[in-house]
Amino acid sequence: MKNIWKSAIITVVVLITIPLLFFILVYSGAFGHIQSVEELRNFRNAEASEVLSSEGLLIGKFYTENRTNITYEQLPSHLINALVATEDARFFEHQGVDSRSLVRVLLKTILLNRSESGGGSTITQQLAKNMFGRKGNGRLSIFVNKYREAIIAGRLEKTFRKEEILTLYLNTVSFGENIYGIETAASRYFNKITEKLRLEESAMLIGMLKATTRYNPALNPEKALTRRNVVLKQMEKYNYLEPDAADSLSGLPLSLSYRKTESEGSADYFLVQVKREAEEILNNIAASHGKTWDIEKDGLIITTTLNLTLQNFARRSFADHLAIMQKHFRDQYSSPSGRKQVTGLTEAILDEKNLSHKADEKRRQVIFDWKGTYTDSVSIRDSIKRALTTLHAGLLALDPQNGAVRAWVGGIDFTTHPYDQILARRQLGSVFKPILYALAFEEGIEPCHYLDNDSLVLSEYKDWSPENFDHSYGGKYSLAGALARSMNIPTFNLFLELGFERLDSLWREMGFSFQLDNTPSLPLGTAEANMAEVAVAYSAFANGGYKVRPWSVASIITPGGDIIYHHDPDLVFPKVLTERSCLLISAILQKAVNEGTGSSMRTAYGVNSPFAGKTGTSQNYADSWFAAYNPKLVILARAGASSPAIHFNSPAFGTGSALALPLVAMTLRKTESFPETAGEFITQFPVLPAELAEALDCPDFKEDGFLDKLMDILKKSEIDNFYKTERKKRSFLERLFRRKIPD
């Protein structure tokens, strides 16, 4: 008997000593740091930074944890009641640890291996877990973490009032889908702020906390409904709700208003630019002032220049126009010759990427379609074919006076095609021509100076010859007429007059990065640039000759309202063109919209506002462009497939006026019909001074006279030795006829 008592005493001592010793080890930090009261007092949740449009509307967030913190006063009482009744009925009685629940866990969960009995953690213990996570310590993890959370819970209770603990908990807890905190959850599932939640909505959100995926109402509505009703019963059980009210509310449907604000796609491509720009701003502030900010954790409010109304008009135009053009494109490549071309290019890509042996493997992927995005199992080969025959497009709008980005549609769908078309460098086509003509005006050549439209051939360039789109020859075009009608042969002749060096210099001064090649086709648009560079160049035409710098971030403020950054409105931009040249270019390009290559903007799409514009079509219709502007807005679009080898083969679909212009025109037509955007983006051009109006007062075209025809007989149509390393000074006849005369 004595030995039995001795063994019993030893057992009791061991059972008491080991847990006590274990607790002391955990408390001392042997299994990891435990936050002090001071650290708890200074704790702050990582909070998503919000990105706003110029109208103050939310367009996206940057975060490691998608969260918006709120105060206790913003929490409805029924939300608090639902939380306490469901998660911790004795919350207002204990000091962080509920010993009764802890005993239940020890008896049922650990000893009887019944996991359905629950975790036994109080709201305060759960908060400790949410704040600092759990660490792995092998088989001892469950004990270490429970002890650790109990210690932190006790310190939290000493540091904060019960109301503050509830607020911290509801701001910290996860609701699945990478969203944290009740405010973000209320927005996601009910499209409202927490203060506006109805009782049954609060019950649903609290019900999710048991298992955020299992009870996600968007994924499992029936399970979410059942779980919500369990919460209502808990509220009834603890006298937060009358039985009749609980029964009545249990019969209501979920009535979700599911809203994924941060990934709706209204400005996803733009958000990438905003983040890059904002981080650069914050890094500069840190370097100069020593204060660092984390764009993904500090809950900053970033106001941008983007006009969400204009942005959405542009996106709607994409959906309306490109859906039709995409069908035409796929129809073209469904023909035998089209399928053969795509197949050949597909096999070449498979070989290049060493994927031929896997070409028929099917993979589950998200597929964008204008009728609706869907998922399907698609082979690598078919995926490449689809990618090759997908039309891409971008649209960019700037304020030409200061460079503020007003709309940025970087592609057709950010999720499936994240590459930003606005930053893609493509061949310009005739969008290049106004730069050449602006140079002519800078050099003192008048708009009524006439340019030959005669056929010519360059033998040293494999008999290359410029050709007008309408295949016309003969006569002469004024500079104004040639640009308004986008004539190629007169433009080539203008290039001969001006020379490469000065054009190359102006090209670089206007902000283009692509290295120009001194080739005969250059003036017709073989140079390459991205849309942002073109927008900057056309902004100079709109603002009187200044090279602006595109920017997106107007201000950055802290959650408390302190201004970290505000864009400087008094930036000075370099002058690259004279105002006279810009007024002339604008007058001519208004004519291009009213009666030239951009006239369908008026006739087909009904845009009545004053705009100048220029179409552009690169070789073989690989890319189509259209740029339009007035003194308040520059807006341009480019469209085409990812590979220049795949393109429309008909001018009915492939030209700038057919493919790109409608994106701009449809956007502007919507803008005109909306008073607020019309007032912000539409204005008259300055009245043309009398001397410039007179300088433009001449016929676009005139037939060759007798003397012209006689001289044409004396001239050869072949231009040899067009570019020589050592150029000879041009003779009088060469200068007279503005072309190289054969030796």
Quick one: pLDDT at residue 710? 58
Long-range contact set of residues 143-146: C-beta below 8 Å, sequence gap at least 24: 143/22, 144/26, 144/31, 144/32, 146/121
| CA 495 remoteness from chain centre | 38
Residue 722 falls in which region: left (phi positive, over 0), alpha (psi -120 to 50) or beta = alpha
Quick one: pLDDT at residue 366? 85
Mean local confidence (pLDDT), 666-690: 95
**Which two three-digit tokens encode residue 497?**
């007059």
Question: Alpha-carbon distance 497 to 486, whole Å?
Answer: 18
Quick one: pLDDT at residue 733? 32
The proportion of the chain whose per-residue pLDDT surpasses 70, expressed as a percent, equals 82
Q: pLDDT per residue over 36-69, tens digit each?
A: 666 666 666 678 899 999 999 999 988 877 888 8
Question: Alpha-carbon distance 630 to 679, whole Å?
Answer: 13
Question: Alpha-carbon distance 414 to 409, whole Å?
Answer: 10
Quick one: pLDDT at residue 442? 97
Question: Alpha-carbon distance 579 to 445, whole Å?
Answer: 15
Quick one: pLDDT at residue 737? 34
Looking at the domain 393-455+473-550+575-641+650-704, which fold is it?
Beta-lactamase (3.40.710)
Quick one: pLDDT at residue 726? 30
Quick one: pLDDT at residue 11? 66
Mean pLDDT over the full length of the chain: 86
**Which two three-digit tokens encode residue 60?**
């996206």
Q: Comparing 105-119, 437-451, 502-516, which segment has the lowest mean pLDDT?
A: 105-119
Strand segments (E) across 368-446? 374-379, 391-398, 405-409, 426-427
Quick one: pLDDT at residue 130? 72
Quick one: pLDDT at residue 119? 55
Q: pLDDT per residue over 538-572, tens digit each?
A: 999 999 999 999 999 999 999 889 999 999 998 89
Quick one: pLDDT at residue 378? 93
Q: Comparing 271-280, 288-297, 509-518, 675-684, which segment has the lowest mean pLDDT?
A: 288-297
Q: pLDDT per residue over 131-177, tens digit each?
A: 766 565 555 555 555 667 777 777 878 888 989 889 988 998 989 88
Q: pLDDT per residue over 413-444, tens digit each?
A: 998 999 999 999 999 999 999 999 999 999 99
pLDDT of 21 above 60 = no
Quick one: pLDDT at residue 97? 75
User: Is 188 within 8 Å of 259 (Cβ atoms)?
Assistant: yes
Mean local confidence (pLDDT), 245-251: 94
φ, ψ of residue 65 to 5 degrees: the values are -130, 120
φ, ψ of residue 664 to 5 degrees: the values are -75, -45
Question: Alpha-carbon distance 516 to 310, whole Å?
Answer: 34
Mean local confidence (pLDDT), 242-254: 94
Mean local confidence (pLDDT), 459-482: 89
**Which two three-digit tokens encode residue 134?**
């759990």
Domain 65-263 falls under CATH 1.10.3810.10: yes
DSSP states along 73-114: GGS-HHHHHHHHHHH-TTTTTSSS--HHHHHHIIIIIIIS--
Q: pLDDT per residue over 182-214, tens digit each?
A: 999 999 899 899 999 999 999 999 999 999 999
Q: Does 450 or 151 have the greater pLDDT score? A: 450
Quick one: pLDDT at residue 722? 52
pLDDT of 324 above 90 = yes
